[in-house]
Amino acid sequence: MKIPRNTASPVPGRRRRGGARTLLGVTAGAMALAIALPATASADVVATSLGPLPGGTLSAAFDINNIGSTVGYSDTAQGVQHAVVWGPDGQAIDLGTLPGDTSSTAYTINDQGTAIVGGSFIPGQGARAVKWDGQGAITQLAAPTDATISRAYAVNNVGTAVGFWTKADGLYRALRWTQNGAYTALPALPGDTASSAGWINECGTTVGYSKTAAGVSRAVKWKPDGGVVRLKAVPGTTSSQASSINASNVIVGNAYVGTTSRAVKWNTDNTVTELPPLPGNTAASAYGVNDHGTVIGVSIDASGLHRAVKWSANGTITALGNGDAFGVNNSGAVAGFAPTPAGPLVATLWKD
């Protein structure tokens, strides 16, 4: 097995899916299949379904790199979830699991196609953070000896990965792995008890959240040297989480009023911009941002219906279609998943 690769020089920056959200189901065929968009989508947007593995019925995509390779998961003919990479031609490749595990998920692929990160799941237990190389070989990423669960959410073009680990107390703790797999704990804010890292840019700045003992999340960034900085609080909200950071250090994520999410952008001048939901909708979440400032995520109406959306650099929102958007590359291609008439979710690419 060989992962589609970019043989040119590494491209700085990228896209993004968000830090601590996982999915329990999705679809796909081995080749791309055009599907119709709902009436809520822009007429200029074209959606393409990424087929599941042979015999599978559902799939989801979480990231797309700058050569058009997409990662996520599909179920197999045996009904178990396996990490998948779809090449630019839409061909699905099963990435498999660690020996003895039954399921896996891939969250991010770098631009060269030399590193994919995610989690491999032990039956009846939890996930272990893993990395697949450019040949598709899987390696478990090291974690503290008392770790019960670990997961890697993002990897940059240098090969540095970030994610989290937990021990018996169930509290998340942010981790960063070097290209060679050595890990470093990323600290929570002073006095906080938990943290998780969701994205890292090419400069080594990482974003995610730190959580108080009372369970309140605060969006943070970690400098390349590991120092943690709280991002500016969003007026009128009670908690926040950072999902992605681009090459210019623009950060996006979510702030919450109770359980209602508001999509936000932390600008480089230390101001915060709220990204509006679609007209008539009540909530929104931002999961990714590319180097041109395009932000992607989801807008939600009062009934709970999700619509994948993107915001331009000036904040103008465009509906992509029913579903959720998690990753965007520098060409503006968006990866996520959408419902099908038959019910199962399907990994989807949106382009205009």
Summarize pLDDT for 118-129 with one digit per residue, the tens. 999 988 888 999
Report yes or no on 197 lying in a domain.
yes
**CATH code for the domain of 61:** 2.130.10.10
Report yes or no on 4 lying in a domain.
no
Note the pLDDT of residue 202.
97
Note the pLDDT of residue 11.
38
Whether residue 235 is predicted with pLDDT greater than 70 in this model: the reply is: yes
Whether residue 37 is predicted with pLDDT greater than 50 in this model: the reply is: no
Specify burial of residue 169 (Cβ count, 10 A radius: 0-12, 13-18, 19+): exposed
Whether residue 1 is predicted with pLDDT greater than 80 in this model: the reply is: no
Q: What is the mean pLDDT of the chain?
A: 90
Tokens of 72: 């996520």
Share of the chain above pLDDT 90, in %: 84
Report yes or no on 19 lying in a domain.
no
Report yes or no on 18 lying in a domain.
no
Report yes or no on 21 lying in a domain.
no
CA 247 – CA 323 distance, rounded (Å): 27
How big is the chain by its Cα radius of gyration, in Å? Answer: 18
Report yes or no on 203 lying in a domain.
yes
Report yes or no on 229 lying in a domain.
yes
pLDDT digits (tens, 9 = 90+) for 196-210: 999 999 999 999 999
- Domain of 213 in residue numbering reads as 33-351
Helices (H), the chain: none
Note the pLDDT of residue 5.
67
How many structural domains compose the chain?
1
C-alpha distances (whole Å) from 191 to each of 210, 213, 221, 309 are: 10, 8, 16, 36
Average confidence (pLDDT) over 64-91: 97
Check residues 13 and 25 and name the one with the higher pLDDT: 13
Note the pLDDT of residue 343.
81
Least confidently predicted of 36-50, 226-240, 244-258, 259-273: 36-50
